[in-house]
């Protein structure tokens, strides 16, 4: 875990952004250049959506734009480039990656596991932030350097999150970037009930996602969110729930539109999770083992099938306010523990 970049921030949202940007300026510059090279963000169409996304974010989650201004100041990367980088998923079609699995009844309370399957050797896309004081409550946040996103978080109130992308062509011009909504959950919700209400009422523009949430009171759900609708799934009688990269709830089932090979990959992982969670023990260690599973078809730890590669994995625990972080494929590296 020696290569994991960790940053402690405090103060106003702008000051937190400045600290983030200064600490990670080198990798932010590299990632912005790498990812903006893949999209025509200067086109008239892209500029239209970037303006709408910024206006919508100002309406729904304005403090995060202050933070992004700080990231720009601290890193020396132009704000306009950083904003385009933060909106990548809303400028083009998103393919599916990442897996979530959660147990309600572990000895440590609810536990939520998540892989990030964004590319081979893409560990540098992940950093860990600890907010100790200032605007916003203390939290642990794992996300991409240079973004106002969330890949996984643990808040002081005991709310945790993990997500899994879904592919869909729908668009809602009143929405904000869904990756920004995920971060805003950490700022604006104290528990699963508040988080679900926030997700239901906040539109997203283009990037559908399965949102897994758990809290210290034992609540656990998957919220299926698209630009055109929202549905909530509850865990089964054993307190088990999981999500891959397609919608399962009747209101949204069949509305996602992945390429056939990615649909098959998602459904195979879902079926494998059904098998892997059919019996106990339901423990944190079991989640870690599931995240490292290589059963084929349906491997949870991805090693290139369908061009999908697991880069890191997390297990978030709301009661002890703890995040276990595998900085690399979880079959190859141990989980390090961080507590808020």
Kindly list the averaged pLDDT for each block of 10 residues, start to end, along the chain of length 340: 88 98 98 92 95 98 98 98 95 78 98 93 94 97 98 98 91 95 98 98 95 98 96 98 96 88 92 97 98 95 86 97 97 97
**What pLDDT, on a 0 to 100 scale, did the predictor assign at position 95?**
61
Neighbours of 236 (CB within 10 A): 11
253 neighbors 226 (Cβ within 8 angstroms) = no
281 neighbors 109 (Cβ within 8 angstroms) = no
CA pair distance 59, 323, nearest whole angstrom: 31
CA pair distance 49, 71, nearest whole angstrom: 22
Residues 6+ apart with CB under 8 A from 102: 110, 111, 112, 113, 162, 212, 214, 220, 235, 240, 241, 242, 287
Q: What is the pTM of this model?
A: 0.96
**What pLDDT, on a 0 to 100 scale, did the predictor assign at position 261?**
85
225 backbone dihedrals φ, ψ, rounded to 5°: -125, 125
- Mapping DSSP onto H, E and C, the string for 107-153 reads CCEEEEEEEECCCCCCHHHCEEEEECCCCCCCEEEEECCCCCCCCEE
Q: Is 192 exposed, middle or buried (0-12, 13-18, 19+ CB in 10 A)?
A: buried
**What pLDDT, on a 0 to 100 scale, did the predictor assign at position 94?**
59
**What pLDDT, on a 0 to 100 scale, did the predictor assign at position 119?**
82
Q: Say which DSSP state 333 is in.
A: S
273 backbone dihedrals φ, ψ, rounded to 5°: -65, -35
**What pLDDT, on a 0 to 100 scale, did the predictor assign at position 118?**
87
CA pair distance 94, 82, nearest whole angstrom: 19
Three-state DSSP class for residue 309:
strand
**What pLDDT, on a 0 to 100 scale, did the predictor assign at position 93?**
59
Structural domains in the chain?
A: 5-91 (no CATH), 100-339 (3.60.60.10)
Query: 241 forms bridges with which residues in the sheet?
Result: 102
**What pLDDT, on a 0 to 100 scale, did the predictor assign at position 2?**
61
The token pair at 163 is: 């997500």
**What pLDDT, on a 0 to 100 scale, did the predictor assign at position 96?**
64
CA pair distance 186, 173, nearest whole angstrom: 24
- The distance in angstroms from the start CA to the end CA of the chain is 18
Beta strands 127-131; 5-9: pairing state: parallel
């Amino acid at each position: 875990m020696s290569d994991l970049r960790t940053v402690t921030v405090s103060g106003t949202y702008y000051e937190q952004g400045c600290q983030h940007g200064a600490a990670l300026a080198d990798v932010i510059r590299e990632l912005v250049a790498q990812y903006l090279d893949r999209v025509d963000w200067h086109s008239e169409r892209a500029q239209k959506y970037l303006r709408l996304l910024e206006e919508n974010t100002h309406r729904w989650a304005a403090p995060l734009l202050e933070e992004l201004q700080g990231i720009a100041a601290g890193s020396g990367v132009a704000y306009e480039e950083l904003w385009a980088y933060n909106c990548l998923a809303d400028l083009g079609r998103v393919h599916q990656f990442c897996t979530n699995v959660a147990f309600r009844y572990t000895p440590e309370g609810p536990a939520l596991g998540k892989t990030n399957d964004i590319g081979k050797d893409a560990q540098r896309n992940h950093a860990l932030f600890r907010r100790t004081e200032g605007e916003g409550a203390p939290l642990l946040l794992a996300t991409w350097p240079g973004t106002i996103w969330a890949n996984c978080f643990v808040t002081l109130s005991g709310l945790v999150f993990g997500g899994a992308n879904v592919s869909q062509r729908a668009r809602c011009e009143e929405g904000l970037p869904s990756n920004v909504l995920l971060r805003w959950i950490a700022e604006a919700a104290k528990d699963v009930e508040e988080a679900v209400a926030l997700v239901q009422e906040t539109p997203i523009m283009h990037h559908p996602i399965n949102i897994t949430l758990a809290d210290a009171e034992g609540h656990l759900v998957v919220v299926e969110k698209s630009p055109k609708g929202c549905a909530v799934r509850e865990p089964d009688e054993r307190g088990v729930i999981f999500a891959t990269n397609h919608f399962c709830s009747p209101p949204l089932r069949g509305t996602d539109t992945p390429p056939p090979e990615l649909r098959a990959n998602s459904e195979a992982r879902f079926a494998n999770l059904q098998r892997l969670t059919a019996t106990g023990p339901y423990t944190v260690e079991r989640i870690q083992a599931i995240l490292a599973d290589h059963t084929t078809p349906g491997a949870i730890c991805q090693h290139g099938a369908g061009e999908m590669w697991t880069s890191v994995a997390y297990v978030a625990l709301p009661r002890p306010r703890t995040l276990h972080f595998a900085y690399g494929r979880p079959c190859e590296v141990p989980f390090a523990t961080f507590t808020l």
